[in-house]
Structure 1
Amino acid sequence: MINYELLESRIDEYAQKFREAKPHRHLIIDGFLDPEVAMQAYQVFPKMEEMDKLKDIRQYKAQDPDISKFDPIFSKIIFEHLQSQRLLQILTKITDIPNLYADPKLYASGLAQGTNGSFLNVHIDNSSHPAEPWYRRLNILVYLNPNWTEEKGGHLELWSPDMSESVAILPIFNRMMLFATDKQSWHGHRRVNTPDGDTRKSINIYYFTEESPDGTDYYHVTSFRGRKNEVVNKVLYPVDNLVRTIVRTIRPKKDAHAVLYERDKND
């Protein structure tokens, strides 16, 4: 289902691109899934109303780890391929991050979708797994959007920590985006502009290690930051980040509210 031959034949090239990418480490690969698999996944992708939604001052999108509700092709793509030992070995060679774990509980993973007006403001991800002693290290996004255009927006943005430098990646069909997740990996996506009813569809997977990215023990919540022209967000988000950090820190289990996928033993 994954184009393993492409990945394995270009590992050295991909490793250099990942290492040298700005504003922080990332890699774009087009034609990541077999074309017929990508098209099948697109054709059976659930509707927005069938997925859990997040809508607040930080984001408006659907994100759902409970892939048992959806077509079996998504379980096959995720558990048999995106979490396969073969892919984990490839990712380690590309990123130079050893001992990667795939997450069977799909924390903050699964399927994601954005309709007209959806957005995800600039942030760094929560540092840790809620049920395991793991740190987030890598994020893979596989986009399933035929006929996506610049006008439809929804570009994934990667930002430098001082918000002075950024890149924008169009979420076109069968494009895979890989980036490191750490204290510096600020990212988000632009507002989706699809009055025609189209939606921004993706498969989203995180990978973890027991060791933190910088070798120290730390914890932070998903923390948002305003762009230069977002005057209100630049004032509001630091307060919001601080309040959520305090609340989580005093809990016995910081992220016990997280939605996790419980896979059926018969799957």
Structure 2
Amino acid sequence: MLNYDLLEKNVEQYAKQFREAQPFPHLVVDDLLDPEVAMAASQVFPQMTEMDVLSDFRQHKAQDPDIGKFHPIFSKIIFEHLHSPRLLQVLSQITGMPDLLADPQLYASGLAQGGDGCFLNVHIDNSSHPVTHHYRRLNLLLYLNRNWTEEKGGHLELWYPDMSRSVAILPIFNRMAIFATDRRSWHGHRRVNTPDGDSRKSINIYYFTEASPDGTDYYHITSFRARKEEVVNQVLYPVDNMLRTVVRNLRPKKDEHAVLYNQQDEQP
């Protein structure tokens, strides 16, 4: 189902590419899934109306960790392969991040989708898991977009710290993108342009470590940053980030509102 041989055969090359990538460590690998599996997953991907939709001035997209309500192929891909010890080992080798942990609760993970006009503005992710408090370290995105073109947009953008430029990755079919998730990994995705009714589909997975990457105990919320042409957001986002930080710090359990997946809730 998963092309482990491709990853393991090229692990040294991929590790060098990941380590040397700019503006922060990342890697793109095509054909991660067996073609027939990728095709099957694409064909049974749920409609946006079946998913939890997030819509505000920061983002407009569907993101849903409740994998149990969707076709079982997604549980199989995630729990048997994207969470497998074999993949965790090779990802640790590629990234240089020892002791990577999968998250069975799929915090901020699962299936993601964006139809015409959907977007995710530039941000860094929340630093830690709301239950385990493990540190978020690595993001894996697996795209399931057949016949995707430049014109359809939705590019993953990895931004330089001064917001002067970005690396753009087209979310084509069966492409995996991984990138380090830390306090400098500013990323988002461009607006989707699909008046034909197509949508940007992906499986999103985060990996964690128990130990802090820099040896310090830290916490930060998901924080947004404006592109240079986004004049209103240049004013709005710093205030929004500050207010949400204050509110979270006042909560005994900062992220207890998070939607988490519980396999025990599934019906036999």
Q: Please give the TM-score of this superposition, normalised by the length of structure 1.
A: 0.99
Structure 2 equivalent of residue 41 of structure 1: 41
Q: Which 4+ residue blocks in structure 1 deviate beyond 3 angstroms?
A: none
Deviating more after overlay: 185-194 vs 163-172: 163-172
Aligned-partner Cα distance in 2 for 1:166–1:211: 30
> What is residue 140 of structure 2 aligned with on the other side?
140
CA–CA separation in structure 1 for the residues paired with 2:189 and 2:92: 26
- Find the counterpart in structure 1 of residue 72 from structure 2: 72
Q: Which residue of 2 aligns with 1:156?
A: 156
Write out per-residue CA displacement over residues 180-199 of structure 1, whole angstroms, 9 at most, x where no aligned residue: 00000000000000000000
- Taking the aligned partners of 1:172 and 1:151, their CA distance within structure 2 comes to 12
1:15 counterpart letter in structure 2: A
- Secondary structure of the corresponding residue to residue 121 of structure 2: strand
Cα drift, residue 213 of structure 1: 2.4
The 5 A counterparts of 1:3-82 are: 3-82=3-82
Partner of 1:243: 243
Provide the secondary structure at the position in 1 that maps to 2:207: strand
Q: Is the 8 A contact 1:66 1:261 kept in 2?
A: yes
Gaps of 5+ in 1: none
CA distance, structure 1, for counterparts of residue 13 and residue 107 of structure 2:
30
Give CA deviations for 1:156-202 in whole Å, capped at 9, x if unaligned.
00001211231000000000000000000000000000000000000
Q: CA deviation at 1:210?
A: 1.2
In 2, distance between residues paired with 1:8 and 1:167?
A: 26
In structure 1, distance between residues paired with 2:164 and 2:6 = 34
- SS in structure 2 at match of 1:120: strand
TM-score w.r.t. structure 2 length?
A: 0.98
Corresponding position of 1:220: 220
For the Cα contact (< 8 Å) 1:157–1:188, is it kept in 2?
A: yes
Question: What amino acid maps onto 1:102 in structure 2?
Answer: A
Question: Following the alignment from structure 2 to structure 1, what is the Cα–Cα distance between the partners of residues 125 and 207?
Answer: 12
Paired with 2:190 and 2:214, the residues of 1 have a C-alpha distance of 29
5+ unaligned residues in a row in structure 2: which ranges? none
CA distance, structure 2, for counterparts of residue 155 and residue 215 of structure 1: 33
SS of aligned partner of 2:57:
coil
1:259 counterpart = 2:263? no
1:184-199 pair list within 5 angstroms: 184-199=184-199
Paired residue type of 2:138: L
The whole-number CA distance in structure 1 between the counterparts of 2:105 and 2:48 is: 22
- Aligned-partner SS, 1:101: coil
- Give the drift of 1:212: 2.0
Q: Read off the aligned partner of 1:255 and give its amino acid letter.
A: D
Amino acid in structure 1 at the alignment position of 2:23 = P
User: 1:127 corresponds to which letter in structure 2?
Assistant: S
Distance between the aligned counterparts of 2:33 and 2:264, measured in 1? Answer: 26
Structure 1 residue aligned with 2:97 = 97
What do residues 194-251 of structure 1 show as CA deviations (whole Å, max 9, x unaligned)? 0000000000000000122222111110000000110000110000000000000010
Cα RMSD between the aligned structures? 1.0
Q: Shift of residue 133 of structure 1? A: 2.3
